[in-house]
Amino acid sequence: MKDDRKALMLGLAAVLLWSTAATAFKLALREMDVFQLVAWSVSASAFALLLIVGWQGKLHLLFASLRAQPLYFLAMAAINPLLYYLVLLHAYDLLPAQQAQTINYTWAITLALLAVPLLGQSLGRRDLLAAALGYTGVVIIATEGQPLAMAFTSLPGVALALGSTLIWALYWILNTRNQRDPLASLCLNFILATPAAWLLCALFSAVEIASWQGLSAALYVGLFEMGITFALWSSALRLASSVARVGNLIFLSPLFSLVFISTILGEAIHPATLVGLALIIPGVLLQQAGSPPRSAPDAVS
């Protein structure tokens, strides 16, 4: 049954939790490196999603999906969460949280651009204007308001942040071919990615228990950026009589995120970040006004 009030409450809860992700990333990265953070958070997310799928009585879907498409789910697990979070968190390690978070928000525009070669779609004037607005905003943010000087805070960090949008968009394009239960599929991705995350941690870092502050932040990331929040968001979309009513809540996320970044991390929000965001959000909104196949997936990053 549809329940718009409950859908709104669940959607707001999901958006608020996602808005804390950038802050949690930076807090965790103060105490551990990227490989350790990915290993701990992916493990926490896999555990949480497994409990949710079990509570919903869908454990059998995990085995059925893996038997039917083993290579597909292995590839999807390698893309998200493994590759996506390795790239995204390296960007956060190099950039101020406000820059990494806001640049990553352009993934919806990247999705429209990537749909051209991969799905055979064409770009209209709306898409081109959206891209121009979005990436102008990125340059303003990354150069702290000096786009003509092109003096980036960290060019590798910006490249990684933009690369994460490409990986995320690719994941969702490939995910459109998956007709199986979305929560069970995501759970399977995280379960398959967990051993690989720990292997990479052993090879390129150290398998060890971080400080309690770092471990707490990493577990928080796994539970509330990667795992439980997706279940809340999926439930909100399922209960809403109009998906757009809930989907539009996504646009509150970068604004809430800046509040957490400022108050908890103590980052002074640069005016250029606000100017860039004022370009990116209209760009994303413009892109979302396009054709249904290009609309944003049922999740945010």
pLDDT at 17: 93
Residues whose CB falls within 8 Å of the CB of residue 233, separated by 6 or more in sequence, listed in order: 10, 11, 14, 298, 299, 300
pLDDT tens string 244-301: 777 778 878 888 999 999 999 999 999 999 999 998 888 888 776 654 443 334 444 4
For the residues 225-230, what does the mean pLDDT come to?
A: 87
Task: Return d(Cα 41, Cα 38) in angstroms, integer.
Answer: 5
pLDDT tens per residue, range 185-196: 999 999 999 999
Q: Pick the residue with more confidence: 240 or 185?
A: 185
pLDDT given at position 297 = 44
Question: Which parts of 240-270 fold into alpha helices (H)?
Answer: 243-247, 253-260
Q: Which of 34, 31, 25 shows the shortest CA–CA distance to 267?
A: 25
Which residues are CB-neighbours of 36 under 8 A, at least 6 positions away?
Answer: 201, 205, 206, 208, 210, 214, 218
CA gap 127, 119 in Å, rounded: 15
- Euclidean distance between CA atoms 50 and 56, whole angstroms: 10
What is the domain partition of the chain in residue ranges? 4-294
Instruction: Provide the percentage of residues in the chain whose pLDDT is more than 70.
Output: 94
**AA letter at 128:** L
Residue range 80-94: mean pLDDT, rounded = 96
CA 9 to CA 164: how far, in whole Å? Answer: 29
Q: Is the pLDDT of residue 32 over 90?
A: yes
pLDDT score, position 12? 92
Confidence class of residue 116 from pLDDT cuts 50, 70 and 90? Answer: confident
pLDDT band for position 85 (cuts 50, 70, 90): very high
Return the CA Rg of the chain: 19
Residue 117: what pLDDT? Answer: 86
Mean pLDDT score of the chain: 88
| Omega prior to 292 cis, within 30 of 0 | no
Contact residues for 109 (Cβ-Cβ < 8 A; gap 6+): 130, 131, 134, 135, 165, 283, 284, 287
CB 106 within 8 A of CB 165: yes
